[in-house]
Chains A and B, each alone.
Chain A
Amino acid sequence: MIGSVLKEENLTSLLGRLYESFGFLIFKAAKFEEYNLYLNHKNFLKSDRIITFHSLDGRLLALRPDITLSIVKNAINAPNSNGKYYYIEKVYRPAPSGGDYCEMNQMGLERIGQLSCYDMVEVVYLAYKTLKNLKRPFCLELSHMGVIKALLGRLACEEKTKENLLSCILQKNCHDLYEIAARAKLPIAEINRLIRLIQLDGEPTAALKQAGELVCSVEMDDALKELKAVCKALCAAQENIPFTINFSIVNDLNYYNGLLFQGYVDSLPRCVLTGGRYDPLLEQLQQKMGAIGFALHLDELSPLFQEPRTFPIDYLLLYRKEDPEVSILQAVSALSKEGKRVFAASEIPPALHYRKLVFLKDYKTELL
């Protein structure tokens, strides 16, 4: 039945109204950006493979692989804006499943400026409301980049080793993490601390308490305090927000420094929402500001948008060649009023799949 499933346009319009009610304004990005913008911040992007071309005046342009960089650039150049943006845009990246480039639909928001703890809570709360509007069981996972960063910062090893450790953290892969640490002769006490941290997941109160027992530096303590403050506010909202703690959520060390979060929906295999705080990007652009945001990956939601129908056509209306066109048109209009899909033909099309056959008899429809 039409209307019984989630419609992408309904969802984006609903979310747009939600974000606007919290003071976020829509941001319309240009399709192309100067390639330099992406070249200078390659690690911020999911992939460094970008579609480029020359403009008519010879500048090297790129088909946008990311929205956040465009919004940040705009926010920096528009100091009088309120620093709250949301968007519904397409990005162009290599397909995650391999193959060629593809167009991906994203909706999300960015908060850029002098950020308070409330700003973080608000963005995470909106991420929760976004997932809730998908009308399916969901889960929001929270982490803090500062916690992992503080622990990795204590390890004296090459950048490549840190990258390999991060990749193990992402996979909750403790066995290989031990191997890498042993090869790099890293202190076992520090590695055990890291492993205990990534094995903590689930219920926030218990996970945060156990994480507190692992604190070994001021930086880690500060990061954990920030995460606790956000969790406390989410619990206090009394909306039974289904969130968990998962310290295996990590992102690029040079661009992310604070809260990280991601959302999953039951029956969808991949993460549908990703977000986090990325102040270091602003620092690299010589700005003393903070930034946090998230993106809802609309393409990952496509199974929710598909109608579970077996027939593309509800009624095949069969008319005779001598029937007046106006009668056929009236019959089609009457049948389609109930939201049904009607196909009118004088002969049954051989490849058409339809649910019911209807005849036009004496200018009236007759169900077979």
Chain B
Amino acid sequence: MLHIALPKGRLGTTAQKLLAKAGYPLFEQSQQSRQLIFEHKGSQTRTFLVKPSDVSIYVERGAADVGIVGKDVLLEENPDVYELLDLQFGKCRMAVAAREDFIENRERAIRVATKYPHIASSYYQSMNREFDIIKLNGSIELAPLVGLSDVIVDIVQTGKTLRENYLKVIADILPISARFIVNKAVYQFKYQEIHQMKEQLEQIIKKEEPQ
């Protein structure tokens, strides 16, 4: 039996659909309940729905064999797992955004509000720029509006939230999408099952790729 960690929310819903197309229907009953573990005897899977940022922890520590997680989480947490596939959905970008009237003052450290301190630090270190990270857990867009930070580092999908808050992207850091990850020890002991899942997912992705 394969243990799968999936993120709750939109990314998880798309992941479930993809897995179902690949021959892994995960749920036998309605998902309306608050149940967090689902077992599907037909596909020999047990699925956990967890907070998106926790998926890689479940996989790295072996509570789940495989997982689907955003690249943003992998870059931030840097878990020791295999990243076997780019699933080509949940596409967005990690970017630096600031107020529309922002003019950078290079004479002092730039104040950066973010949920991703590791990604933000790596980016500013690579730019050799002095910085001050302000770790926030939500409503990041508010920080530059109230003077808490100069810029934010966050994921941007359509840019609508930024526009509504009079913010604009000033630099792209990297593209983000959902990834298929595997625990390194489990990879040894469930090699066939994992490879089969990887190949089936790969076929679906190729089929759905725009020509």
Can you name 20 extra interface pairs (CB under 8 A) apart from A139-B188, A172-B82, A269-B185? A137-B189, A171-B82, A171-B83, A172-B83, A172-B84, A173-B83, A176-B86, A244-B188, A248-B82, A264-B184, A264-B189, A265-B185, A267-B62, A268-B185, A269-B62, A269-B63, A269-B183, A269-B186, A270-B62, A270-B80
CB neighbours (8 Å) of A141 from chain B are 188
CB neighbours (8 Å) of B85 from chain A are 175
CB neighbours (8 Å) of A202 from chain B are 191
Interface size class of A (residues with CB under 8 A): 10 to 19
Q: Is B60 an interface residue (CB 8 A)?
A: yes
Interface residues of B in 54-106 (CB under 8 A from A): 60-63, 80-86
* Cβ-Cβ contact count across A and B, 8 Å cutoff: 44
Pick the most buried of A139, A141, A175: most chain B CB atoms within 10 A of its CB. Answer: A175
CA distance A141 to B183 in the complex (A): 15
CA distance A268 to B63 in the complex (A): 10
CB neighbours (8 Å) of B83 from chain A are 171-173, 176
CB neighbours (8 Å) of B185 from chain A are 264-266, 268-271
CB neighbours (8 Å) of B191 from chain A are 202
State whether A266 touches B81 (Cβ < 8 A): no
CB neighbours (8 Å) of A267 from chain B are 62
Question: Which one of B61, B84, B86 lies within 8 Å of A269 (CB-CB)?
Answer: B61
A138 shortest CB reach to chain B, Å: 9
For chain A, what secondary structure do more than half of its interface residues adopt (helix, strand, loop), or is it mixed?
loop
Interface string of A169-208 (1 = CB under 8 A from B): 0011101100000000000000000000000001000000
State whether A268 touches B62 (Cβ < 8 A): yes
State whether A175 touches B86 (Cβ < 8 A): yes
Pick the most buried of B80, B83, B184, B188: most chain A CB atoms within 10 A of its CB. Answer: B188
CB neighbours (8 Å) of A270 from chain B are 60, 62, 80, 184-185
State whether A264 touches B188 (Cβ < 8 A): yes
> What 5 pairs across the A-B complex have the smallest Cβ distances?
A269-B62, A175-B86, A173-B83, A264-B185, A139-B188
CB neighbours (8 Å) of A176 from chain B are 83, 86
Interface residues of A in 242-268 (CB under 8 A from B): 244, 248, 264-268
Interface size class of B (residues with CB under 8 A): 10 to 19
State whether B189 touches A269 (Cβ < 8 A): no
State whether B189 touches A139 (Cβ < 8 A): yes
CA distance A202 to B61 in the complex (A): 23
CA distance A172 to B63 in the complex (A): 21
Interface residues of A in 214-267 (CB under 8 A from B): 244, 248, 264-267
Question: Which one of A175, A268, A269 lies within 8 Å of B60 (CB-CB)?
Answer: A269
* Closest A residue to B174 using CB positions: A179
CB neighbours (8 Å) of B183 from chain A are 269
A272 shortest CB reach to chain B, Å: 9
CA distance A264 to B86 in the complex (A): 26
Interface string of B36-52 (1 = CB under 8 A from A): 00000000000000000
30 contacts between A and B (CB under 8 A): A137-B189, A139-B188, A141-B188, A171-B82, A171-B83, A172-B83, A172-B84, A173-B83, A175-B85, A175-B86, A202-B191, A264-B184, A264-B185, A264-B188, A264-B189, A266-B185, A266-B189, A268-B185, A269-B60, A269-B61, A269-B62, A269-B63, A269-B185, A269-B186, A270-B60, A270-B62, A270-B80, A270-B184, A270-B185, A271-B185
B24 shortest CB reach to chain A, Å: 21
Interface string of A136-178 (1 = CB under 8 A from B): 0101010000000000000000000000000000011101100
* Closest B residue to A199 using CB positions: B84
CA distance A248 to B185 in the complex (A): 13
CA distance A267 to B62 in the complex (A): 8
CA distance A271 to B82 in the complex (A): 13
A94 shortest CB reach to chain B, Å: 13
CA distance A268 to B186 in the complex (A): 9
CB neighbours (8 Å) of A264 from chain B are 184-185, 188-189
* Closest B residue to A98 using CB positions: B77
CB neighbours (8 Å) of A248 from chain B are 82
